[in-house]
């Protein structure tokens, strides 16, 4: 349920519930009262009671509008008596504590009861003979300073009196039920809102302390559930961001460690050979030439490592734009093979290209970057070749949506434990730790993924390894 509907329902409940309960109580009370007393509480009784009270009020007003002495006149007394006779009421006039007129035969006790009821203003009924009266007192001050009082006695029907009390009780009952219902509904309504908000506050406190594993559960009304859902998404993104930050930090430490290790070996060699020259160890032209060639080779290795590192960093940060162009993939692989073939043959490695395509196929390539991929894979196969006569086969075939380039060698192969990691940067097996920068296949992966392609490896055990590249057709 959404919050707006719940508020409307809560406000309506605070009125409807006490009203329904009050009506039920009223009906039950009337039914029980009528059955037990045999009286019938009707609206006519209440209407008659109201008419009597109105007539008494009019009579009292008429008395107050005249001078006090007029109440002693027979004509005025007769007029008042006639008016009260319309409601079967009685009139009693008292001056200086003595009764000077009475339309009803009152004993001293009845008179005292009437005066007491009139003086207290309690409007409590009194019984005189077989009749029940309501007494209304009007105070007078005569010219001679004497105080007087006019008592207006109106007959009461007990059923009408009970009906008045009943209406008052029902009114009070409704007010009390309204207050109680309002408290209960407000408590329940606030609980539905405050409970999920407290849970949100608790989760926010955990997140502020760095605990990003504290899940935020969707609960409460629709608006609060939407808030919980958005905060949970924020928590997950924040968690991913922190995880990425930690991962980048670990990678940075690993890069520094790997660079330090990889550069130390050639730099140490360069330093050793330079010291050998300075110390006069290279005392013949042949030794001097060999020392200088070794220094040149090691310097080239350092330069290559730095170039690979810079290229990988730029690819990782997407700082190198790709220059794509539509390319015949078969002809492109032939050109790559022609450039790499002399170096491979000097290492006693035979390379061949096998194209299994029904027709020419074109792909969108950055020719220079993809050439780096092919060269890195071929160079990696050359480094780990352990056969006297090495062999590398490049196979090109297609599927319904993509082209597959497979570069398969017959080298030492890759163990199952190393296979999932060979495209990680700086990852190399221990037995070949000193060969290369460890970034060749990592750079190849970055470039292939920059072409929206996919690269993976398949091990053939001791028979070699296949590097597979999948590219979308143009």
First-last CA distance in the chain: 52
Contact 394, 405 (CB under 8 A): yes
Q: Which residues of 63-83 are buried (b: 16+ CB within 10 A; e: fewer)?
A: beeeebeebeeeebbeebeeb
CB 152 within 8 A of CB 138: yes
Please spell the DSSP secondary structure of 49-89, one letter per residue: HHHHHHHHHHHHHHHHTS-GGGGGSHHHHHHHHHHHHTTT-
Report helix, strand or coil for 460.
coil
- How large is the C-alpha radius of gyration of the chain? 55
> Could you tell me which CATH number the domain at 322-472 has?
3.30.565.10
Sole residue written with tokens 């082209």 = 403
Does residue 453 contact residue 474 with C-beta atoms inside 8 Å?
Answer: no
Q: Quote the DSSP letter at residue 467.
A: E
CA-to-CA distance for 178 and 170, rounded, in angstroms?
Answer: 12
> What gap in Å lies between CA 464 and CA 410, rounded to an integer?
4
Length of the chain: 474
Neighbours of 212 (CB within 10 A): 16
Describe the crossing of helices 440-450 and 285-316 by its angle, rounded to 10 degrees. 30
Q: What is the pLDDT along the chain (474 residues), one digit of tens a residue?
A: 666 776 777 778 778 888 888 888 877 876 776 666 555 444 454 455 456 556 656 766 766 666 777 777 788 778 777 777 776 778 888 888 788 888 888 888 877 877 777 775 555 677 787 777 777 777 777 777 788 888 877 776 555 556 666 778 888 888 888 888 888 877 777 777 777 788 888 888 888 888 888 788 777 777 777 888 888 888 888 888 888 778 777 766 766 666 676 677 788 888 888 988 888 888 888 888 888 988 888 888 788 777 767 776 776 666 577 889 999 999 999 998 888 888 888 888 999 999 999 888 999 999 988 988 998 899 888 888 888 888 999 999 999 889 999 999 988 888 877 887 888 766 655 444 445 556 778 888 888 998 899 999 998 888 889 999 999 987
Q: What is the pLDDT of residue 403?
A: 93
**102 bridge partner residues:** 92
User: In the Cβ-directed half-sphere of 399, how many Cα atoms lie within 13 Å?
Assistant: 9
Token pair for 356? 């299994």
Q: How far, in Å, CA of 382 to CA of 323, rounded?
A: 29
Selected from 3.40.50.300, 1.10.630.10, 1.10.287.130, 1.10.540.10, the CATH number assigned to the domain covering 223-315 reads 1.10.287.130
Domain ranges (residues) in the chain: 39-156, 223-315, 322-472
Which residues, including other chains, have CB under 8 Å from residue 474's CB and lie 6 or more apart? 326, 362, 363, 364
Instruction: Give the DSSP H or E segment for 296.
Output: helix 285-316
Tell me if residue 224 falls in helix, strand or coil. helix
CB environment 417-429: b (16+ within 10 A), e (fewer): eeeeebbebbbbe
**Tokens describing residue 170:** 């029902």
| Nearest Cα to Cα of residue 156 among 148, 167, 164 | 164
Q: State how far the alpha carbon of 392 is from the alpha carbons of 65, 351, 379, 386, 431, in Å.
A: 131, 5, 11, 13, 22
Output the six-digit token pair for 155.
Answer: 């007959």
What's the rounded Cα separation, in Å, for the pair 425 and 440? 8
Q: How far is CA 400 from CA 226, 300, 356, 357, 405, in A?
A: 43, 44, 14, 12, 14
Three-class DSSP labels, 109-140: HHHHHHHHHHHHCCCCCEEECCEEEEEEEEEE
Architecture category of domain 39-156 in CATH: 2-Layer Sandwich (3.30)
């Amino acid at each position: 349920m959404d919050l707006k509907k719940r508020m409307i329902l809560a406000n309506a409940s605070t009125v409807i519930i006490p009203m329904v309960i009050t009506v039920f109580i009223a009906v039950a009370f009337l039914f029980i009262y009528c059955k037990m007393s045999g009286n019938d509480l009707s609206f006519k009784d209440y209407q008659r009671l109201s008419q009597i009270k109105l007539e008494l009020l009019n009579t009292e007003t008429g008395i107050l509008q005249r001078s006090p002495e007029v109440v002693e006149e027979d004509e005025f007394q007769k007029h008042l008596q006639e008016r009260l006779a319309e409601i079967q009421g009685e009139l009693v006039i008292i001056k200086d504590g003595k009764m000077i007129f009475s339309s009803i035969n009152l004993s001293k006790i009845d008179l005292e009861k009437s005066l007491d009821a009139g003086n207290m203003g309690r409007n409590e009924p009194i019984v005189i003979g077989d009749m029940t009266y309501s007494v209304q007192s009007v105070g007078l001050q005569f010219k001679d300073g004497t105080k007087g009082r006019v008592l207006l006695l109106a007959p009461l029907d007990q059923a009408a009196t009970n009906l008045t009390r009943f209406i008052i009780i029902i009114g009070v009952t409704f007010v009390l039920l309204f207050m109680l219902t309002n408290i209960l509904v407000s408590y329940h309504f606030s609980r539905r809102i405050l409970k999920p908000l407290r849970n949100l506050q608790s989760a926010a406190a955990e997140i502020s302390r760095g605990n990003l594993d504290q899940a935020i559960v969707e609960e409460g009304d629709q608006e609060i559930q939407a808030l919980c859902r958005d905060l949970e998404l924020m928590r997950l993104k924040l968690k991913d961001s922190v995880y990425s930050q930690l991962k980048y930090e670990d990678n940075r430490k690993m890069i520094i460690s790997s660079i330090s290790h990889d550069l130390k070996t050639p730099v140490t060699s360069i330093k050793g050979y330079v010291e050998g020259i300075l110390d006069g160890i290279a005392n013949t032209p042949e030794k001097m030439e060999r020392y200088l060639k070794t220094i040149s080779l090691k310097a080239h290795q350092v330069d290559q490592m730095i170039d690979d590192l810079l290229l990988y960093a730029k690819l990782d940060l997407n700082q190198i734009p790709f220059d794509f162009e539509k390319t015949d993939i078969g002809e492109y692989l032939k050109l790559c093979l022609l450039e790499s073939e002399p170096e491979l043959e000097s290492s006693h490695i035979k390379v061949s290209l096998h194209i299994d395509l029904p027709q020419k196929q074109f792909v969108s390539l950055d020719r220079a970057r993809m050439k780096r991929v092919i060269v890195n894979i071929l160079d990696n196969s050359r480094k780990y070749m352990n056969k006297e006569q090495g062999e590398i086969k490049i196979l090109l075939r297609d599927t319904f949506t993509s082209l597959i380039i497979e570069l398969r060698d017959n080298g030492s192969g890759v163990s199952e434990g190393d296979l999932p990691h060979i495209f990680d940067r700086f990852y190399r097996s221990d037995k070949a730790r000193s060969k290369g920068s460890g970034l060749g296949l990592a750079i190849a992966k970055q470039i292939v993924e920059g072409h929206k392609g996919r690269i993976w490896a398949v091990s053939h055990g001791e028979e070699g390894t296949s590097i597979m590249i999948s590219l979308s057709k143009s």
